[in-house]
Homo-oligomer: A and B are copies of this chain.
Amino acid sequence: MAKASRKVTILDVAAEAGVSSGTVSRVLNNDAHVRPETRQRVLEAMERLGFVANRQARSLAGGKTNTIGVLVPDLGTGYIGEIIRGIDAELSFHGLDLVLYTTHRTASKEANYVANLASGMVDGLLLVLPRNPADYVGNLTQRKFPFVLIDHQGTGRDCPAVGATNWQGAYDATEYLIKLGHKRIGFITGSMDLGCAVDRLAGYRAALRTYHIPEDPDLIYEGTFFQPDGYAGACAFLDLPHPPTAIFASNDVMAMGVMDAVRNRGLRIPDDISVIGFDDIPQAALVRPALTTVQQPLENMGRVATQMLLDLLQQPGREVGRIELPTKLILRESCRPPRDASESSRPAL
């Protein structure tokens, strides 16, 4: 008995089952207008011949690819991997394929991929940490092409997007440090061309304002989400005449760089300097002291974005806004009240 082969087409199955190719196609597509006995006969013929449908032909003839394009800035970080895991799970569940493209953080490459993919190559797009969505969001929306942005803010227009409460997360983390008694809190930003980085900085600033702590520009270091920037930012802060007593980094990887720098200065965490990160990647719990961080529901973001996209596939042009999944402050061991804090200096609650 022959196994799966390129040569078995619906014509072969039709001949084997004694029906037309149209009926074979109906069985393939679970059309209701097939008698159960006929359906069974066709399915058995498929099994006997080892028939496997040709996806290209189905896409071309049916006008659908059953494929979703996923654009990511790069690979290899746990952050992206967790999001893709959620995407992959949802797509698998719905029998859709995932085609992966890496933009290498290049805006022109991103726009180029989008233009190509949205021209019939995929049924929809998931754009993870997009660089310049303003370049193409208007066009996609006008054409009712289904897409969802993941972890993004800032196109100047309402469009399908899933993110986390970056602002609130950063506000909560800063507030927590303030309530511990910290009045000088260093902040290391992410890449400021990304909306999530902008929101986290804004949350930090808002918490300072709420508690009437003046913002000190020397306590804000612009980073790029990479570990060396955490290290460099912490060194810059510790070189100040009045160094901070706490450092809040915009992601866990940079927070680990901060921890390195603090230790290299012979200082202790959290006795001398408290540290907070953002993301709650698995390693945050593994470092010592275990990192206090703002947890992002990465995998769930992937899932929710995919579900949103699938809804859009069913109802093209439907109005969908932004969904923000809650962040959560995860308290571990990297924070404590500042050394010179006393009860009288605590903010009134």
Residues on A close to B: CB < 8 A? 3-6, 52, 54-57, 59-60, 65, 67, 74-78, 80-82, 84-85, 88, 92, 97-102, 115-116, 118-121, 139, 143, 227, 253, 256, 259-260, 263, 282-283, 286-288, 299
Contact = CB atoms under 8 A, between A and B. Distances in A.
Given A75-B85, A120-B54, A283-B283, A100 B98 contact: yes
Contacts of A6: 119-120
Instruction: Specify how many copies of this chain sit in the oligomer.
Output: 2
Contacts of A101: 97-98
Given A57-B60, A65-B56, A260 B286 contact: yes
A227 B285 CA distance: 11
B98 A286 contact: no
Contacts of A60: 54, 56-57, 60
Q: Which 3 pairs, one residue from A and one from B, show the smallest C-beta to C-beta distance?
A: A52-B119, A56-B59, A56-B60
A162 B77 CA distance: 23
20 contacts: A4-B116, A52-B119, A55-B121, A56-B56, A56-B57, A56-B121, A60-B60, A75-B82, A76-B81, A76-B282, A78-B81, A84-B100, A88-B100, A88-B102, A99-B100, A259-B286, A259-B288, A260-B286, A283-B283, A283-B286
A282 B230 CA distance: 15
Most buried by B among A80, A119, A139: A119
Nearest to A60: B56
A102 B82 CA distance: 13
A282 B81 contact: no
Contact of A85 (B76, B118, B282): B76
Contact of A116 (B52, B56, B85, B92): B52
Nearest to A99: B99
